[in-house]
């Protein structure tokens, strides 16, 4: 079928579906789950209310997802008929192949508007535009082309030429200018994440941002959003490989190489981009002397509410960028255990699920539902993310929710809706949980290193498949 827009399966009831969407968003706010996960928990897969078989729009199957990079590549490959020996490659397995997990914590302070912003990272080398996707493409031996041009006109023409030829591409639009996240103007130019452009119809670009229904944006808005951020201005990735099976030995080598990459990265000494970042953050939450200590930076209460909300949104899958991804990594390890015939990876998957629960506890502590303003902020954040997953159909809902959310954040920008004693207790609890996370992830990385060393040195180990890195033209 040409498009999923307006197509309603047998048994579809508008009122029932509206009620279901409301229940999904309530669950997202309560659990931090992404839209698809919350929906599956409420209606199951294949249940009486499950009319959510994949939507096909302009020939493109919308698969959803969590991690922008891994989900984009998984969707590109599945839609191109590029599969593993037994099935399409899952987002979770590609997460491993791309280098797995990372760690990152930075507290920014901006003098021009006296703002303080928390930035968290949860993927290997996620601060770099191309490293994760390039690594996965190389390890899988795919043919791909990167392109970048400084000229907006040329970039727009290149995009439409690819789409006109039936070639979907990954692009990096600024989140503010792309529009559908409904962000305030002060976030103009603050960055974005990869999304798939897969068609153009009537001057609108069809985008897949882990969505479950068609999402379209005016072509000129896409062009403007692509040119905004200098570090990846007009970047575009086209994967050319189609209709093939990734050989078993290559897939095994790709997974093992990705895990080894992660062990080296996450197990490093950096206290900004490796596991020690969590220990540093834990200390900064309760210290008083260092310049970046939270009790000092947020002594006047200004920006603290926004910082705590950023923690919840960054950690939980219900946020814009997919959350901490520890649960997805665990699922990938379970797949890898079978693929590599290495039970130790399955055992480690259980450990990472436990770590995922610690991260959930941290988010719950940062934005407690016992505080009405915090509970409402979670509901509104989930409403925006859920409405993005619903594509164009969610446009009105996400605009209303975002308007209320940012008004709420503005209301408490100068003084948070928590008393001094509550703030002290929240920061102390967060520090304690982060200390547990640091110890748990440090031990988990060490065990994973031992498992991967054993697999690499074993008699059945497969040598890494090192393809040519896709060229940037």
The pLDDT tens digits of the residues spanning 373-402 come to 999 999 999 999 999 999 999 999 999 999
Could you give the CA distance from residue 65 to residue 445 in angstroms, rounded to a whole number? 25
Please tell me which residue, 71 or 456, carries the higher pLDDT value. Answer: 71
Quote the mean pLDDT of the chain.
91
Closest residue by Cα to residue 277 from 449, 114, 445: 445
- The per-residue pLDDT for 279 is 98
How are beta strands 244-245 and 82-83 bridged, if at all?
A: parallel
Global pTM reads 0.92
% of the chain residues with pLDDT over 90: 81
- The per-residue pLDDT for 309 is 97
101 exposed, middle or buried (CB, 10 Å; 0-12, 13-18, 19+)?
A: buried
The mean pLDDT of 356-363, rounded to a whole number, is: 98
Confidence of residue 45 (pLDDT cuts 50, 70, 90): low
- The per-residue pLDDT for 15 is 53
The mean pLDDT of 288-292, rounded to a whole number, is: 94
Confidence of residue 440 (pLDDT cuts 50, 70, 90): very high
């Amino acid at each position: 079928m040409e498009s999923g827009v307006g197509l309603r399966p047998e048994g579809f009831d508008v009122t029932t579906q509206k009620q279901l969407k409301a229940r999904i968003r309530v669950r997202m706010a309560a659990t931090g789950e992404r839209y698809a996960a919350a929906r599956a928990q409420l209606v199951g897969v294949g249940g009486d209310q499950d009319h959510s078989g994949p939507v096909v729009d302009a020939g493109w199957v919308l698969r959803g997802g969590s991690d922008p990079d891994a989900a984009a590549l998984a969707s590109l490959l599945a839609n191109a008929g590029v599969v593993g020996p037994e099935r399409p490659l899952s987002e979770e397995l590609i997460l491993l192949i791309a280098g797995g997990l990372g760690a990152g914590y930075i507290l920014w302070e901006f003098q021009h508007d006296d703002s303080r912003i928390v930035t968290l990272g949860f993927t290997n080398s996620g601060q770099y535009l191309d490293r994760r996707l390039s690594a996965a493409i190389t390890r899988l031996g795919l043919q791909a082309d990167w392109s970048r041009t400084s000229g907006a006109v040329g970039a727009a023409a290149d995009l439409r030429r690819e789409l006109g030829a039936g070639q979907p591409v990954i692009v990096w639009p600024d989140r503010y200018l792309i529009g559908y996240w409904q962000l305030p103007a002060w976030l103009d130019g603050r960055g974005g994440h990869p999304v798939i452009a897969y068609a153009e119809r009537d001057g609108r670009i069809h985008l897949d941002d882990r969505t479950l229904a068609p999402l379209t944006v005016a072509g000129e808005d896409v062009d403007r959003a692509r040119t905004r951020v200098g570090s990846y201005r007009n970047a575009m990735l086209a994967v050319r490989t189609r209709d093939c099976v990734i050989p078993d030995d290559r897939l095994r080598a790709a997974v093992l190489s990705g895990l080894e990459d992660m062990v080296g990265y996450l197990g490093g000494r950096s206290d900004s981009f490796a596991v020690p970042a969590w220990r540093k953050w834990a200390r900064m939450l309760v210290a008083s002397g260092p310049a970046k200590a939270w009790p000092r930076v947020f002594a006047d209460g200004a920006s603290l509410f926004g910082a705590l909300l950023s923690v919840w949104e960054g950690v939980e899958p219900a946020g814009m960028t997919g959350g901490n991804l520890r649960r997805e990594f665990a699922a990938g390890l379970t797949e890898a255990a079978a693929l590599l015939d290495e039970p130790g990876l399955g055992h480690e998957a259980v450990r990472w699920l436990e770590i995922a629960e610690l991260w959930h506890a941290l988010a719950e502590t940062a934005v407690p539902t016992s505080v009405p303003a915090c509970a409402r902020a979670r509901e509104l954040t989930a409403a925006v993310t859920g409405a993005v997953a619903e594509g164009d159909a969610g446009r009105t809902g996400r605009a209303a929710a975002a308007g209320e959310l940012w008004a709420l954040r503005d209301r408490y920008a100068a003084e948070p809706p928590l008393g001094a004693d509550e703030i002290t207790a929240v920061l102390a609890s967060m520090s304690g949980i982060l200390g547990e996370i640091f110890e748990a992830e440090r031990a988990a990385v060490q065990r994973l290193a031992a498992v991967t060393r054993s697999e690499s040195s074993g008699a059945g180990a497969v040598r890494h498949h090192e393809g040519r890195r896709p060229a940037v033209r």
